[in-house]
Structure 1
Amino acid sequence: MTAPRDKSYDASLTTALTDPAEAAAYIEAVLELDDPAALLVALRQVAKSHGMAEVARRADVGDKTLFRALSESGNPTLDTVNKVLHAVGLRLSVAPLAGVHG
């Protein structure tokens, strides 16, 4: 049985994720996990912190499409991820992996 999450933590996370620098650091840390499900949760949390309907509007994506793409069983396209990131003031970028040579 899982314990209910502390409401103050959720509120604190929501507030923090409205800051683009905090959201970027959060998503970058989740990317280090190399876990697509965790990334989906992080994207959903960032979008929720900005208001899902507002993110859908800014991203020019339908509300239902956004909710479905970021749901637990969602599988958003790269285009949708890019639009969501732009809608919350972030962008996708690429960096070399440490210790990996081409």
Structure 2
Amino acid sequence: MKDRSHDEAMAELFKEDPAFAAEYLNQLLQDGEPADLLVALRQMAQAHGGVRALAREAELNANQLYRMLSSQGNPELRSLSAVLQALGLRLAVQVAPTPQQQPRAAAA
């Protein structure tokens, strides 16, 4: 059995299950750090043939996309939307639950 890196394993999982990829990004947007989102997007780029292939599909400059997805990246909304569209995903806005609306934990 060949050893795989975490990034390779995640890329494969994202490629096999786009619904999981979407839910993973939503969870990162809700609870994660911006750097975590960029790591996930790099993994998704790997799953779709690499950053250069994704850049072509998103109609972005490959160097710009490499910088955007770097640990110091700060993507513009337009670029992020183009990348997500190329990955078969999209941004959405939802109402955040207020403390009164959050589901209560089941009583023990």
TM-score, scaled to structure 2: 0.78
- Which structure would you say has the larger Rg? 2
Quick one: percent identity of the two aligned structures?
A: 43
Please list, as runs of the form range in 1=range in 2, the aligned pairs for 1:1-102 lying within 5 A after superposition.
7=4, 9-18=6-15, 19-50=17-48, 51-99=50-98
* Structure 1 unaligned spans of 5+: 1-5
Please give the root-mean-square deviation of Cα atoms over the aligned residues, in Å.
Answer: 1.9
The number of residue pairs the alignment matches comes to 96
Q: Which runs of 4+ in 1 moved over 6 A?
A: none
Aligned to 2:105: none
Query: Shift of the alpha carbon at 1:10?
Result: 3.5
TM-score, scaled to structure 1: 0.82
Moved more, 29-38 or 54-63: 29-38
* Structure 2 unaligned spans of 5+: 101-108
Query: Shift of the alpha carbon at 1:11?
Result: 3.2
| Native 8 Å contact 2:7 2:43 kept in 1 | no
Higher RCO (CA 8 Å, separation ≥ 6 residues): 1
Cα 1:8–1:74 shift into 2, 3 Å? closer
